[in-house]
Amino acid sequence: YGTMGGQCGDTGVIRCGDGEFVVQDTIHLAGGKIGHIGRMTSGMIKLGDKVELSVNPAGRADTCKNHSATHLLQKALRTVLGSHVEQAGSYVDAHRLRFDFSHFSAMTPEELAKVEQIVNDEINAHLPVRTSVMTLEEAKKTGAMALFGEKYGDSVRVVQMGDFSTELCGGTHVANTGDIAVFKILSESGVAAGVRRIEALTGPGVFAYYKELEDRLSEAAKIVKATPANLAEKLTHLMAEVKQLSSENESLKSKAARESLGNVMDQVKEIKGVKLLAAKADGADMNGLRDLGDQLKEKLGEGVVVLASEKDGKVNLVAMATDSAMAQGAHAGNLIKGIAALVGGGGGGRPNMAQAGGKNPAGIPQAIAEVEKVLEGQLK
């Protein structure tokens, strides 16, 4: 079978006496010929030799499983989502299947579960798979699904899976849906406007997938000193501990930032009747700086608070203005813009709160000193 219609070509071996050619791919050539691509692994093959061609049986069988599953999948999608669903492309090989279809939105987890269940139900029903060659008119009478925009000849091949699915198809298939064994959807995503894609596994691929998941689950359980059976319980406890420790850490960082400011209220200045507190807090990240700003603004009562910090070689800036200060012209966003360049950064925000980042900690003292000048220019 040469690669065609979304199904990958056969692999296998061509033998002649002591000559062996490993077929790595098969393609269609002009004149209805099949080209065999690969390499000689021993001996030689010459014109006129009689050879034996052996298809890789496991690869062909697994490809058949995946191809037949796309037929069941299309019908299941039409059942769950509606008759607007049409195939927009597909790819099947021995390892997995990909099916593109027309649909206007992402599928919900419930829809995916329903589609997967329908396909597995039809697999478990062991439907016979029949192939027939007939005229296009006869095929239309059977209700066979055809690819939109595809050109068909006078004779077409119809693949029927019980009374569940009937499609025009030239690919290879299982003899019975039970041969597919099992079907598992891996993902559903958008690939173009109005086109969704499902990737899935069948048969041995599903068992290999679950084996890998089992191995990962066991490894994860081992890391947190649990078993797969009580992993969820263990993780719940650990997340509660992490949350508590994170809260304690934030409190400690906030306390350290406050302490680094010293008696900060001594640094309050009055600019045209508006209180201004501009200071540097050591080691605070942006969240910590905002929290500290809120505390100092409350302590200040009315006015403007501007804080700067250096953490991990970067600069964080926060400016806050109360209602009274804004009424007199203070604007936190413009204030930040006026000093951010001094620390090698940029930012902005609303009149009442703004923030910025920078990459020049050496500029912090100059930025703090500039605040008074910028605010003075804003006030009426």
**Is residue 23 located within the same domain as residue 103?**
no
Q: Examine the domain organization and report whether 262 and 291 are in the same domain.
A: yes
Q: Has residue 274 been placed in a domain?
A: yes
pLDDT digits (tens, 9 = 90+) for 121-136: 999 999 999 999 998 8
Are 162 and 96 within one domain? yes
φ, ψ for residue 158, nearest 5 deg: -110, 130
Last residue of a domain, one of 194, 211, 228: 211
Q: What is the DSSP letter of 128?
A: B
Q: Say yes or no: 167 and 202 in one domain.
A: yes
Q: Is residue 104 part of a domain?
A: yes
Long-range contacts of 74-80 (CB under 8 A, 24+ apart): 74/99, 74/101, 74/145, 74/165, 74/167, 75/118, 75/145, 75/164, 75/165, 76/114, 76/115, 76/118, 76/119, 76/122, 77/101, 77/103, 77/115, 77/198, 79/115, 79/118, 80/111, 80/114, 80/115, 80/118
151 occurs within a structural domain: yes
Q: Within this chain, do residues 300 and 179 fall inside the same structural domain, yes or no?
A: no
Token match 């019975």: residue? 176
Q: Cα–Cα distance between 59 and 23 in angstroms, integer?
A: 12
Mean pLDDT of 336-360: 91
Burial (CB count <10 Å: 0-12, 13-18, 19+), residue 83:
exposed
Q: Do 90 and 147 sit in the same domain of this protein? A: yes
pLDDT score recorded for residue 288 = 85
Cβ(86)–Cβ(103) below 8 Å: no
**pLDDT reported for residue 258:** 62
* Residue 249 forms part of a structural domain: no
Say which residue, 140 or 150, is predicted with more confidence. 140
Q: Which residues contact 229 (CB under 8 A, 6 or more apart)?
A: none
CB of 109 within 8 A of CB of 80? no
Average pLDDT of the residues in 9-17: 94
Inside any domain, residue 38 = yes
Which of 211, 245, 269 represents a domain boundary (last residue)?
211
Residue 105 and residue 44 share a domain:
no
Record the tokens describing residue 114, joined without a space.
């329903």
Query: Is residue 342 situated within a structural domain?
Result: yes
Q: Whole-angstrom Cα distance, residue 289 to residue 312?
A: 14
Token duo for residue 148: 């939109």
CATH number of the domain at 352, please: 3.10.310.40
Q: Which residues contact 197 (CB under 8 A, 6 or more apart)?
A: 98, 99, 100, 101, 187, 188, 189, 190, 191
Per-residue pLDDT for 373 more than 80?
A: yes
Is it the case that residue 145 has pLDDT exceeding 80?
Answer: no
The CATH number given to whatever domain includes residue 148 is 3.30.980.10
Q: What is the dihedral of CA 145, 147, 148, 153, to 10 degrees?
A: -100
Question: What is the number of residues in the chain?
Answer: 380
Q: Same structural domain for residues 261 and 199? A: no
Q: What would the mean pLDDT of 3-30 be, rounded to a whole number?
A: 93
Q: What percentage of the chain has pLDDT greater than the value 70?
A: 96
Let me know if residue 137 belongs to a domain.
yes
Query: Is 238 among the domain residues?
Result: no
- Asked if residue 321 and residue 335 are part of one domain, the reply reads yes
pLDDT tens-place string over residues 289-325: 888 888 888 888 899 999 999 888 899 999 999 999 9
Whether residue 92 has pLDDT greater than 90: yes
Name the domain boundary from 152, 179, 211.
Answer: 211
Predicted local confidence at residue 260, as pLDDT: 61
pLDDT in tens, 148-185: 556 677 789 999 999 999 999 989 999 999 999 999 99
Residue 284 to residues 107, 246, 298, 310, 338, Cα–Cα distance (Å): 43, 15, 19, 7, 22
Same domain membership, residue 47 and residue 72: no
**Are 295 and 201 in the same domain?**
no
Mean pLDDT is lowest, of 76-90, 164-178, 254-268, 310-324, for 254-268
Structural domains of the chain, count = 3
**Distance, CA of 138 to CA of 143 (rounded, Å):** 9
3-state secondary structure of 284: coil
- CA torsion through residues 297, 299, 304, 308, sign: negative
The CA–CA distances, whole Å, from 228 to 214, 224, 245, 291, 322 equal 9, 10, 25, 40, 54
Residue 29 pLDDT level (bands cut at 50, 70, 90): very high
- Domain region containing 272: 255-378
End-to-end CA distance of the chain: 83
Kindly state whether residues 95 and 68 are assigned to the same domain: yes
d(CA 47, CA 146): 41
List the Cα angle 250/255/260 in 5-degree steps. Answer: 125
Amino acid at the residue 247: S
